[in-house]
Structure 1
């Protein structure tokens, strides 16, 4: 009965989406836009309700421990992206098409392609704040140190001037300022973000924690009345990583193992990362403040972190198709018990 209810709910959502999307598709086709653009939009629209229900069933029911079958929608998305690229080759002035391509590549963790697509948007509209933020974020992901500087920082500064309500823009600009030891400016930027957040949300708590760290450093490490002193004991997470027997035949000489922790609510760059030869598996590593990508962003700067492991075929930290992955989900940074990760899926 419960499953039937969710299926009916999904059907109703899909039906509602069809009423909205189909007229838009017909209008777009009359304007000469390729079907790949709409296929991509429809895939996202249909996947949202199905993914929400699948996530609930996966997390909310014990049977999920036996594994949840994956939807084979990757090929459809790839085909839609290819058709959109073909369309853009024929109509390079289609700003909305480039924006959709950039956002899609961002979701697919293809930072280089995303940055290139956003760059096309900015050539067509130099004041597009969304593209500015997208370009800056993609650029930081392509850097080994994940720093936001140069053109990326300039674009973020312009983006928040154009749209002072840009949450992602304010967050990333604050990170850039923090990376450049501009702690007072970083705290002020993040305070602009606070009124837009639900005070009880994890995002708001994460922002407040970063403001506290920035203000503490701006005061030479001393706490202020508005910024309580942080815990002096530095966190240390012990992570035990194993490779699922079903994937052992995919392990090859030269593969690199990355074990990392990133903020549950915050920047995508790791707060701590360990790198080693994947041949060392099974392995146990300890993540701590001395293993951050930058001196400013450390494990102790977050209260909860996502802990994962990846076997990279390219040797690069950025995920690529064919990499092997696993994770332990979100963990409190003050956890003292060993954390277990089984690398059991292919990216």
Structure 2
């Protein structure tokens, strides 16, 4: 605010200077000089006429007329001091009222129409940006009031105007727009954040979340692609599976929705308050599939590799579930891109090999995992593999790939 007052004083001073400049640099008035020259010329002409009239005998007292002519010439010369005083007085009479008028109008109009209170409020909001941002980024359960959301939006837009390369700022603006159900603004802000930081998981997740709410099918496909990349990372945010489950349910892909919700249950555990909510979601999806509630189960498999494993990035990861006695014929199997390790995959009845024997029918099981290097399931030479111990259905399974055929 101090800068504003300094700038305003400078501008007003310049305005007053522009008003006074014509008086300061006023050209010298040559009227007196011209008048003197004219009087001299007239005086000389009159002397010539008097001489001619004297010669002709028309004038009897020539000297008296000459004295009168000289006296009239002297009377016509103005006093310099009086003239200078009048000029200075007339200049100040214009400059001083003009300066007062400029100052009064400038500050008067500003206080009337300048919205100074709004400017002060805007500056206070800008100073409060770090605190509001920290509150928005806090764990779930911390919510901002409507006024705080408006303040944060104003502060963010101000900051992004001067710092357009701030990906965190665009991410926050996108999240605020999501909270306000402003999908277009959210997509625009998240897109800018993604262009600046396309490998940031938080940005990818935010962008996917915004795109998932769009009406355009291409935007939704882009969201699924982003979520697919996030699933392949070493650490997968719970919200990724939540979005995948939501999308699957909306597309009436109920088995996939059940699978993702089951993964979420295994990630948070029964002690989490959200566990029961996920169970109700699973139950609802199973009802939509026409299944009997409680029969569908899944197997969560965490896969890791030992240090000596050297695998082609183009290889495939084959995960198969077998009966607890290690029967070679799998009950369920799935094929995934190799990705990174450790990683977690989930198999359910949708991965069953035979329609008459579902994965959920097993009471106990074991899991085998293989890195298929040539794309042919029948050949195993050179492939790396690992297998788990027998576990009961519902228990998490861990497999270390450490052997080679």
TM-score, length of structure 1 as denominator length: 0.41
Q: Which has the higher contact order (CA 8 A, sep 6+)?
A: 1
TM-score, length of structure 2 as denominator length: 0.35
